[in-house]
Amino acid sequence: MVMPVESSMKRDGRTFDHQTLEAIRLMAVERVREGEPAAAVIAGYGFNRTTIYKWIQAARRPGVGIKALRSTKATGRPRRLTPVQERQVFRWVNGRDPRQYGLDFGLWTRAVVAELIDKKFGVKLGLTAVGELLAKLGLTPQKPLQRAYQRDPEAIEKWQRETYPALARQAKAQGAEVFFWDESGFRADTVHGKTWGVRGQTPVVHRPGQRQSISAASAVNANGAFWFCTYDGALNAELLVELLQQMMHRRKKPVHLVLDSLPAHKKATVVGKYVASTNGRLTLHFLPGYAPDLNPDELVWSHVKRTGTARRPLQQGEKLRDKIEQQLAKLQQLPRLVRSFFQAPSVAYIGDC
């Protein structure tokens, strides 16, 4: 028998499991029946003195006796949905749109999930119960990625499974390099990211009153190579040719360059003439439309905009072009970081080839 330990502190029975509490109740009542004072027995277990009298009274119930002290399995809140129905809720929410089920709203909220459960199963659940169910299913509220309606899933799958692997094989056979190209714009009066502040009092970040903007183009490959340049204004075909000439200057290996399908990239005759003049040293390939997530260079720009001037706004007298060029030049010296952009799930197809 486990001997009780004297304690001056009162114990909370809720901290014990059911089996331990049952053993304590049975031993305590048995000791009282053997002649020990009830107050002394319960004090030895560290419980409130009134507790043992409840146990003794329960054990005296006719037809029940000592069985009244044994633990019973807690029933808890009755299940409103069956396991099969819960799995169906998961399939509804995971990767699907509420509008596919005839609902008016395009985002999953607890209210929308509750409406669908009522519609399909005839079971009404409160918002708290729906939230608990979603958490149990491993679903959490998240900011969704945005995708254009014009995306062509079949073209994207073909690019990943057929087009890009064929491109990679061709480049390998030629001893060529594969680069991904993209452009981006920067403004000095834009602050990315968040900062802490008192609830209800929006923090103020000081920035230059004079507007500054600059554009940049870059090309990145899976081995960690990174090329960039900055320019003013919007991109057109003539400017693209100038930028491509800069990238190809003194480059020894042929380049297979992957770009998106902007008109300045794809439809201009002047670009085609320049590519033809390289005699195979430069070949252009175009991603499926409305699929920027297939381009690892997008992740480069995302990183650049979350750091650098996004974290430390321009000070008096500083030039945006200088700061962007410094940041990109530093990135150029970090091939391991550049390679990490190719590890994102959306561009995993590149590493598979």
Helix (H, G, I), strand (E, B) or coil at 351: helix
293 and 318 part of one domain? yes
Report the distance separating Cα 69 and Cα 34, nearest Å.
17
Residue 1 lies in a domain: no
Question: What would the mean pLDDT of 128-132 be, rounded to a whole number?
Answer: 89
Highest mean pLDDT among 12-16, 18-22, 193-197: 18-22
- CB distance 310 to 327 below 8 Å: no
126 and 21 part of one domain? no
Q: CA torsion 132→138→140→143, rounded to 10°?
A: -160
Domain total for the chain?
Answer: 3
Question: What would the mean pLDDT of 262-278 be, rounded to a whole number?
Answer: 88
CB atoms within 10 A of CB 114: 19
Report the distance separating Cα 202 and Cα 194, nearest Å.
11
CB atoms within 10 A of CB 36: 13
Q: Kindly report which listed range (96-100, 287-291, 309-313, 314-318) carries the lowest average pLDDT score.
A: 309-313
Which residue's entry shows tokens 């169906």?
88
pLDDT at 105: 66
pLDDT at 3: 44
Residue 4 lies in a domain: no
Residue 145 lies in a domain: no
Report the distance separating Cα 299 and Cα 273, nearest Å.
30
Question: What would the mean pLDDT of 138-167 be, rounded to a whole number?
Answer: 78
pLDDT at 156: 87
CB atoms within 10 A of CB 291: 21
Upper half-sphere CA count for residue 42 (Cβ side, 13 Å): 18
88 and 132 part of one domain? yes
Residue 181 lies in a domain: yes
Report the distance separating Cα 31 and Cα 27, nearest Å.
6
pLDDT at 72: 66
Residues 95-122: pLDDT tens digits?
677 777 777 666 788 888 998 999 888 8
Reply yes or no on whether the pLDDT at 141 is more than 80: no
Q: Residue 130's domain spans which residues?
A: 83-136
Residue 89 lies in a domain: yes
215 and 180 part of one domain? yes
Which distant-in-sequence residues (6+ apart) come within 8 Å of 186 by Cβ? 213, 214, 215, 216, 305, 309, 320, 324
Tokens for 312? 């430390």
- Of 69, 97, 112, the position where a domain reaches its end is 69
Residue 148 lies in a domain: no
184 and 261 part of one domain? yes
Question: Bigger pLDDT: 169 or 8?
Answer: 169
Q: How far apart are the first and last CA of the chain?
A: 68
pTM for this entry: 0.57
229 and 272 part of one domain? yes
Give residue 161's identity as a one-letter amino acid code: R
CATH of the domain at 245: 3.30.420.10
Residue 217 lies in a domain: yes
Tokens for 268? 């201009």
Report the distance separating Cα 76 and Cα 200, nearest Å.
40
177 and 308 part of one domain? yes
258 and 329 part of one domain? yes
Phi, psi of 286 (to 5 degrees): -120, 130
Residues 172-188: pLDDT tens digits?
999 999 999 999 988 87
Confidence of residue 203 (pLDDT cuts 50, 70, 90): low
Confidence of residue 206 (pLDDT cuts 50, 70, 90): low
User: What one-character-per-residue DSSP string does 229-250 give?
Assistant: EEESS---HHHHHHHHHHHHTT
87 and 39 part of one domain? no
238 and 339 part of one domain? yes
Residues 81-94: pLDDT tens digits?
888 899 889 888 88
Nearest one of 257, 336, 341, 328 to 293, comparing CA atoms: 341
174 and 281 part of one domain? yes
Upper half-sphere CA count for residue 173 (Cβ side, 13 Å): 6
292 and 326 part of one domain? yes
